[in-house]
């Protein structure tokens, strides 16, 4: 079934998820800067070049645009901690564990059949609106170019030059 | 989202094997410390043997340095060897020795392939080589690279399995299409 992302301009639904056993992050924490949300099916997928590693490598370019990158899957925080350590990830992984897939569901990014998050990417602008959304219709990892181009366009549109 | 090669083949710049006017172009973005790229290495060689004059092969650097601590230096080594006209010799040694990509090993490989070692070490540290690898990396990202290895067949990202038959089929399908 082809899924459509939330339309551009939609206020991005807020969520509060654990990024560690005793701490949570909310999307609202990042109001005022763009946010890149990467929904991915599961920690420890077999490829070393999975989409998180690509985003991790491109991270300085995302940070150049003052954006915050967040990864979300339904895995629990302990799996996330181990996975982030194993892949040397430098952005938070959020656990959409309980209620399962509830945050992903707000973004049309939860697969009810498999019980995992879809391969999906959203760029939320600094005002909290969806600037771009992508949900993969086949089990092929998306690259980072879509999100990067959107961030570049957002930066060009801002009144202050990006340093 | 685009998955089309964003940086055209430049015969003056790219590392290219095979006839420049071959109908099929296979581009690989790779990481010398990535085991999946290591597995693809003999597959590419086999495809080159079988397709001979039909295919040209271009290799570009996409080291995932956060994941593979030696991949960046290995990419520098390959490009520095390229400045002395021995890119492919170094490239082959790196993939044949993925478990030994320490700096001392890289210098030893340079010695094995007959590089001017003083120049090699200097070039490895040079901004030119670093910029070259960065340019390859960014070009790959803009092309929609989604992992390593990432292949482009006549300019289109290959999304099939990294098997001989999968790649062979994609190359055969592309043989009638010019990009």
CA-based nearest distance B177→chain A, Å: 23
Q: Which chain A residue has its CA at the smallest distance from B5's CA?
A: A145
Share of chain A above pLDDT 90, in %: 87
Cα–Cα distances in Å, from A142 out to A23, A34, A134, B91? 29, 19, 9, 28
Q: Give the per-residue pLDDT at A51.
A: 85
Q: Strand ranges (DSSP E) for A21-107? A: 23-26, 35-39, 68-73, 93-95
Q: Are A8 and A110 in contact (CB under 8 A)?
A: no
Of B65, B67, B138, the CB nearest to A87: B67
| A48 given a catalytic annotation | yes
Say whether A88 and B67 touch across the interface (CB within 8 A).
yes
| Chain A residues touching residue B1 (CB < 8 angstroms) | 134, 142-143, 145-146
ipTM reported for the complex, 2 dp: 0.92
Q: Tell me: the pLDDT tens digits for A44-56?
A: 987 655 789 999 9
Nearest-angstrom CA–CA distance, B10 and B8: 6
Say whether A88 and B66 touch across the interface (CB within 8 A).
yes
- The helix (H) or strand (E) run that includes residue B16 is strand B15-17
Say whether B146 and A51 touch across the interface (CB within 8 A).
yes
Q: Strand ranges (DSSP E) for B79-179? A: 150-153, 156-157
Q: Tell me: the pLDDT tens digits for B69-126?
A: 999 999 999 999 999 999 999 999 999 999 999 999 999 999 999 999 999 999 999 9
Q: Are B91 and B61 in contact (CB under 8 A)?
A: no
The set of long-range contacts for A139-143, using a CB threshold of 8 Å and a minimum separation of 24, is A140/B146, A140/B159, A141/A47, A141/A50, A141/A51, A141/A54, A141/B146, A141/B147, A142/A51, A142/B1, A142/B144, A142/B146, A143/A51, A143/A54, A143/B1, A143/B3, A143/B141, A143/B143, A143/B144, A143/B145, A143/B146
Choosing from A48, A112, A139, A163, which is the catalytic residue? Answer: A48
A69 forms beta bridges with A36
Q: Which chain A residue has its CA at the smallest distance from B142's CA?
A: A145
| Chain B residues touching residue A48 (CB < 8 angstroms) | 34-36, 64, 67-68, 147-148
pTM of the model: 0.94
Q: Among B30, B31, B63, B67, which would you mutate to test the A interface (most chain A Cβ atoms within 10 Å of its Cβ)?
A: B67
Q: Among B64, B144, B149, which would you mutate to test the A interface (most chain A Cβ atoms within 10 Å of its Cβ)?
A: B64
Q: Give the per-residue pLDDT at A111.
A: 95
- 3-class state of residue B168 by DSSP: helix
| Chain A residues touching residue B144 (CB < 8 angstroms) | 142-143, 145
Mean pLDDT of chain B: 95
Say whether B141 and A49 touch across the interface (CB within 8 A).
no
Say whether B66 and A140 touch across the interface (CB within 8 A).
no
Cα–Cα distances in Å, from B94 out to A107, B35, B36, B39, B58? 43, 12, 14, 13, 16
Nearest-angstrom CA–CA distance, B179 and B177: 7
């Amino acid at each position: 079934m082809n899924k459509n992302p939330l339309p551009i301009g939609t206020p991005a639904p807020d969520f509060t998820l654990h990024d560690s056993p005793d701490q949570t992050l909310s999307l609202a924490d990042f109001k005022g800067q763009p946010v890149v949300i990467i929904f991915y099916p599961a920690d420890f997928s077999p490829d070393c070049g999975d989409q998180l590693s690509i985003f991790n490598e491109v991270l300085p370019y995302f940070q150049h645009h003052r954006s915050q990158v967040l990864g979300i899957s339904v895995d629990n925080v302990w799996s996330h901690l181990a996975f982030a350590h194993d892949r040397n990830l430098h952005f938070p992984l959020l656990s959409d564990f309980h209620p399962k897939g509830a945050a992903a569901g707000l973004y049309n990014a939860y697969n009810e059949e498999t019980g995992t998050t879809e391969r999906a990417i959203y760029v939320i602008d600094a005002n909290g609106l969806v600037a771009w959304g992508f949900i993969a219709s086949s089990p092929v990892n998306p690259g980072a170019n879509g999100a990067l181009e959107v961030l570049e366009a957002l930066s060009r549109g801002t009144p202050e030059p990006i340093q | 989202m685009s998955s089309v090669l964003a940086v055209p083949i430049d015969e003056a710049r790219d590392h290219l094997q095979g006839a420049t006017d071959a109908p099929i172009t296979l581009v690989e973005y790779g990481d010398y410390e990535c085991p999946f790229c290591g597995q693809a290495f003999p597959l590419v060689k086999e495809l080159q043997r079988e397709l001979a004059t039909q295919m040209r092969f271009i290799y570009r650097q996409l080291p995932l340095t956060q994941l593979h601590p030696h991949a960046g230096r290995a990419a520098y080594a390959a490009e520095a060897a390229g400045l002395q006209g021995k890119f492919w010799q170094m490239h082959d040694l790196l993939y044949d020795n993925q478990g030994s990509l320490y700096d001392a090993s890289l210098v030893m490989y340079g010695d094995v392939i007959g590089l001017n070692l003083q120049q090699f070490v200097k070039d490895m540290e040079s901004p030119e080589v670093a910029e070259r690898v960065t340019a390859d990396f960014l070009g790959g990202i803009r092309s929609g690279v989604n992992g390593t290895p990432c292949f482009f067949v006549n300019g289109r990202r290959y999304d099939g399995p990294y098997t001989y038959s999968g790649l062979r089929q994609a190359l055969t399908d592309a043989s009638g299409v010019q990009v």
